[in-house]
Structure formats: structure tokens, C-alpha cells
Amino acid sequence: MQHSSATRRVILTGDRTTGPLHLGHYVGSLKNRVTLQTTHQQYLLLADAQALTDNAHNPGRVRDHVLEIATDYLAVGIDPSLTTICVQSHLPALADLTLLYMNYVTVARLERNPTIKDEIQARGFGRDIPAGFLCYPIAQAADITGFKATIVPVGDDQAPMIEQTNEVVRRINRQAGVDVLPEARALIPRIGRLPGIDGKGKMSKSQGNAIPLSATVDEIRESVRRMFTDPNHIKASDPGRVEGNVVFTYLDAFDEDHVAVEDLKARYIRGGLGDSLVKKRLEDVLQALLAPIRDRRRALARDPGHVLQVVKRGTARARVITDVTLREVRTALGLFTLN
């Protein structure tokens, strides 16, 4: 059922603009967003300011992926008449809210955020943590509250960010003596993080184990061919394992015919089913999924002005909304105003 835009619940989600979107993003999030846009007021944030918090040495990469990811959105079926696509760094109210919220969050609390802890490790910052990086959960609280979003579809690693956002919300509301900001909840997808094609950790461009949404027919074929299966399943007649077998994980995620997949699994476990047959099925599924996305991407590439227009319009709309929130928060806190 379609709700009128006035009563629709507000969803915000964002992507750091550091690389093209891949199949992991698709199952984890993009597919949901295409559905949610018909029932909710949805905002998609091209998080270029957040991307810079661990890419300060590479601003060009952050810049180039703003329109790249916007193109990915449109290619998978995000409809700009239903979803507002906007650029974080061009919403000054979000930066203002961040600065304001920083006074309501302690450094110790930021250092305790488990995702931040993991990411500091993974990025090898050691003691040289950029202040912007440590504070990005505060900026994310600004993103979420700036739009008064109550639903935030994200991967499970982002749950601590929503928790911290809600702490900020409660601090501000308590200080203001009025509920000026709503709390938000994370919407975690049913399917956890998709593993990379090498079976080592989650799919990630930096690990070189990703299948981008823009992959060509040959790249898809090659990725499936190289995909990690069961190293002990040597002959087709050997009994095989489906746990940790990336081909089956992907079939679970992408093949709509669950009965057929369960049947394949049973045959594989029993022995008598070769990897090449299972891979052929997965390749067909992925080719069918990505062909229309690639076609739309190609059509969009012929008209780059269109993507730019969508992003400009969306950002202008988002600016109005986030400016209102900033004004409300400042007023609720009783801060100085000139008008």
C-alpha cells in the first residue's frame, strides 16, 4: 500500500563514497532500498564527508565516487521521484549539528565504540587517529537526526552507530526539556555480510574479492570460476561441504528457487555433484541479475548530466529539511539566533 508522503516513516541510509557498489551492497542493502522507497520517505546519503575521515590522503577518490555511486543507485532501480539522493558535504546543517553534538559526547565514549575500535585496528592508525575519524559516529548521528529518520537500514557493524545516535538524541532532548529529535532503530538485513569470492572475510573492493555491480559478462564468469568451494571436494563423486562454500552461500543469497538450491545442497553433501555444475547455475543467476543493471548503467553513462541533475535536486531538497532540523535544535536548546 502506498502511504501519503506526509505519513510515511523516514528512512535514511548512506554509503561512503570510496569505491563502486558491489554484490555485497546489493543483497545487504540496495535490494531493500528499492522496495522500501515505495512505502517510506527514503533519503540516500552520498557520505563523502565521512569517506574523507579515512581517505584524507585521497580526496580525488572520494570525489569521483559521488556520481559513481549515484549511478549505481539509479541502475539498481532507485527512483529519484520516490527517493531523495543527496551529498553529505553539501548539507551544511549536518556539519553544524555535528559541531553542536560534539559537546554532548565524550572522547572516552567515542573510543569505546566497538566499530570504531575495530576500524582503528584495521586501518592501522595506531596512535595517529584523525580527529575526524574518531568523531564520525557523531557526524552520523547528525546525518540520521538531521533528517529525523527513525529507521536506518544498515549492516550489523553499524548497530553501535545507531546506539550512539540515540544517546545523542536523549542528551539533546534532556537538555532541551522537549523531544525535539526522534530516536532511530537499525534495520539489519536477514542475510548477513556476503563473503568475498575467496571466502576470506566479507566482500570488499579493497580485498580484491568483490563482484562490482558494473561487472562485465566475462568478469562475472571469471569470478564464479575462481570462487572458493570445498577444498576437499576434489572429484564430483566426493561428498562435499556446503558450509563455508561460497558458491552455496551465494546461491542462498541470489537464487530465488530455494527448493532447487536445497536439492543441490543435498546432492552435493551426498557426493556425485561436481563444482562446475553448481557454479554454472550460480553464474546463470548472477548474469541474469546483473545484465539489466549493467544495461541501465550504460544508458546512464551516455547522459551524465542526468545523474548530476538528480543529485543536485535531491541535495537541494535535503538542504531544506536539514536546515529546519538545525533551526529546531538550536531553538530548543535556547541558543542565540539573529532572526
Distance CA 148, CA 135 (A): 20
> Of the two residues 13 and 245, which places its CB atom closer to ligand TRP in the complex?
13
Q: Cell 575500535 appears where?
A: 117
Residues 6+ apart with CB under 8 A from 163: none
Taking the complex as a whole, the smallest distance from the CB of residue 140 to ligand TRP amounts, in Å, to: 5
Smallest gap from Cβ 161 to ligand TRP, in A, equals 6
From the CB of 296, what's the least distance to ligand TRP, in Å?
23
Strand partners, 50: none
Contact residue for ligand TRP among 113, 140, 145, 164 (CB under 6 A):
140
Q: List the x/- string, 31-60, binding to ligand TRP by CB under 6 A.
A: --------------x-x--x----------
Specify the 3-state DSSP secondary structure of 14: strand
Q: Which of the ranges 140-148, 175-183, 191-199, 250-258 carries the binding residues for ligand TRP, by CB under 6 A?
A: 140-148
User: Using the rule CB under 6 A, is 87 a contact of ligand TRP?
Assistant: no
d(CA 292, CA 298): 10
DSSP sequence for 96-121: HHHHHHGGGS-HHHHHH-HHHHHHHH
Does 158 bind ligand TRP (CB under 6 A)? Our answer is yes
CA gap 136, 253 in Å, rounded: 31
The C-alpha angle 195, 199, 200, rounded to 5 degrees, equals 90
Where in 12-31 is the site for ligand TRP (CB under 6 A)? 12-16
The verdict on 184 binding ligand TRP (CB under 6 A) reads no
Q: Which stretch binds ligand TRP (CB under 6 A): 11-19, 102-110, 267-275, 304-312?
A: 11-19
| Residue numbers 210-229 binding ligand TRP by CB under 6 A | none
Q: Which of 273, 333, 337, 299 is nearest to 101 (CA)?
A: 333
Nearest distance from C-beta of residue 16 to ligand TRP, angstroms: 5
Residue 86 per-residue DSSP state: E
User: Which residues make up the interface to ligand TRP (CB under 6 A)?
Assistant: 12-16, 45, 47, 50, 140, 143-144, 152, 154, 158
